[in-house]
Amino acid sequence: MKARDLPALLGAVLLVLLCAATLSAPWLAADPEAMNLGAIHAAPSLSHPLGTDELGRDVAARLLNGGRVSLAVALSTAVLAALLGTSIGLMAGYRGGWLDAVLMRVTDGVMALPLLPLLIVLAALDPAKLGIGDEARSSEMFMVGRMVAIIALMGWTGAARLVRAQTLSVKTRDYVRAATALGASPGRIMIRHILPNVASPMVVAATLSVGNIILVESALSFLGLGVQPPMASWGNMLTGAMNVIWSAPDQALWPGLAIFVTVLAFNLAGDGLQRLLDPRR
């Protein structure tokens, strides 16, 4: 345990705290969907520690409950996209040749693919036709799963290109050549020698994407593919705040702060992870 590991530890603790708080929301806070039209945009008070929103619902309760969806989506999407991007980038960069060409052109294609029509086509798909019933369709699991799939499938490209670039550079270094000369298998070389050296752009890209993912989720809600009201998420709380930016400018504060703390925690923990992976440590 060194002093430089302290921030990483802090990040991990923050993450655990955030998860614990949002998971225990039902016991900690009031009903996030209980309305009171008589108390719209109420100031913070004892019964509503962070005030109320545009339908008189408790902001603190919505923040805690909304965090569950936002954190679940952010965590799984960031990890999934990073894994996908890293494996593709690693393969392309190390193997080279036609595999590299194919993988990278697919990456270019996905990167340039316009999201809007794709999402609208998705929004028009009737989940009932895929054998998903009403109950399952409105469940949190289904919603989160769909969002994770959509965002991850679109979000791996940056990581893939970064990892490939780094792999191209690393694979010509002496220690990799030495390992190849000693007869190590390609898989072993990729995982033991190259991966640790390409980890830093990957971790940075993944941890930085967290904030973005939480916001993309709210854009999906606009197309009916994200979290549907009355359920809360940090993303849709923030979007809602934009509409009342002139009459209640403070509504953006709490979800904004929550996203900031999450990004902070992810990045601190990511730094730690990177050092953990570092072979020169």
Partner 1 sequence: MTGWLTSRLLQSLAVLLVMSVAVHGLMALMPGDPIDLMIASDPHLNAADAVRLKALYGLDKPWGERYLAWGTQVLKGELGYSRLFAKPVLEIIGPAVVNSLILMGSALVLSLLVAVPLGVTASRHQGGWADHLVNTISFASVSLPTFWLGLMLMVLFAVKLGWLPAGGMQSLSGDGGGLLDSLRHMVLPVATLAITGIGQYARHTRAAMLNEAAQDYIRTARAKGCGPGRVVWRHQWRNAALPLVTLLGLEFGNLFSGALITETVFGWPGMGKLIADAVMGNDFNLALTALMLATAMTLLGSVLADLAMARLDPRIRLR
Partner 2 sequence: MPRLTSLLLILALCLTASLPARAKDDLVIGITQFPSTLHPNLDSMMAKTYVMAMTARPLTVFDAKWRVVCMLCEQLPSFDNGLAKREKTPDGKPGVALTFTLRPDLYWGDGVPVTSKDVVFTWEMGKHPQSGVANGEMYRRILAIDVQNDKTFTLHLDRLTFDYNVMNGLLPIPAHLERAAFLADPAQYRVRNGYDQKPAQPGLYNGPYVITQVVAGSHLMLEPNPFWKGKQPQFKRLVVRAVENTAALEAQLLSGGVDMIAGELGLPLEQAVGLEKRADPRFRVIFKSGLVFEHVDVNLDSPILSDRRVRQALMFGLDRQSMNRQLFDGRQPVADSSVNPLDGVYAEDVPKYAHDPVRAAQMLDDAGWKMAGGLRRNAKGEPLSVELITTAGNRSRELVSQVIQAQWRKLGVDVRLKAEPPRVFFAETVTKRRFPHLALYAWISAPESVPRTTLHSTQIPNAANTWAGQNNPGYANPAMDKLLDDIETELDATKRGELWRQLQHLYATDLPALPLFFRADAYILPKALEGVEPTGHQDPSTLWVENWRWRP
Measured distance CA(212)–CA(214) in Å, rounded:
5
Position 105 contacts partner 1 (CB under 8 A): yes
Q: How many C-beta atoms surround the C-beta of residue 236 within 10 A? A: 25
Does position 123 bind partner 2 by CB under 8 A? yes
Distance separating alpha carbons of residues 185 and 175, to the nearest angstrom: 14
Beta bridge partners of 58: 52
Q: Which is nearer to partner 2, 54 or 250 (CB)?
A: 54
Tell me, what amino acid is at 174?
A: D
142 by Cβ neighbours in 10 Å (0-12 / 13-18 / 19+) ranks as middle
Residue 101 binds what, of partner 1, partner 2, none (CB under 5 to 8 Å, by partner type)?
partner 1
Residues touching partner 2: how many (CB under 8 A)? 26
List helix spans (H) across 113-156. Answer: 115-124, 134-137, 140-155
244 binds, among partner 1, partner 2, none (CB under 5 to 8 A by kind): partner 2
Does 240 help bind partner 2 (rule: CB under 8 A)? yes
Burial class, 167, CB count within 10 angstroms (exposed 0-12 / middle 13-18 / buried 19+): buried
Per-residue burial over 42-71, b if 16 or more Cβ lie within 10 Å, else e, is beeeeebebbbbebbbbbbbbbbbbbbbbb
Among positions 199-258, residues that touch partner 1 (CB under 8 A) are: 200-201, 203-205, 208, 211-212, 215, 238-239, 241-242, 245, 249, 252, 256
Minimum separation from the CB atom of position 162 to partner 1 (A): 5
> Strand pairing partners for 52?
58
What is the pattern of x (binds partner 1, CB under 8 A) and - over residues 144-183?
-------------xx--xx--xx-xx--xx----------
The counts of H helices and E strands in the chain are 13, 0
Which of the listed partners (partner 2, partner 1, none) does 201 bind, with a CB threshold of 5 to 8 Å by partner kind?
partner 1
Report residue 16: phi and psi, to 5°.
-60, -45
Instruction: Decide which of partner 2, partner 1, none touches 24; Cβ closer than 5 to 8 Å per partner kind.
Output: none
CB of 116 to partner 2, least distance (A): 10
- Interaction between residue 117 and partner 1 (CB under 8 A): yes
Q: Which residues pair with 281 in a beta bridge?
A: none
Q: Binding residues for partner 2, per CB under 8 A?
A: 33, 35, 37-38, 40, 54-55, 120, 123-124, 134, 138, 221-224, 228-230, 240, 242-247
Q: Binding residues for partner 1, per CB under 8 A?
A: 3-4, 7, 101, 104-105, 108-109, 111-114, 116-118, 120-121, 124, 157-158, 161-162, 165-166, 168-169, 172-173, 197, 200-201, 203-205, 208, 211-212, 215, 238-239, 241-242, 245, 249, 252, 256, 259-260, 262-264, 267, 274, 278, 280
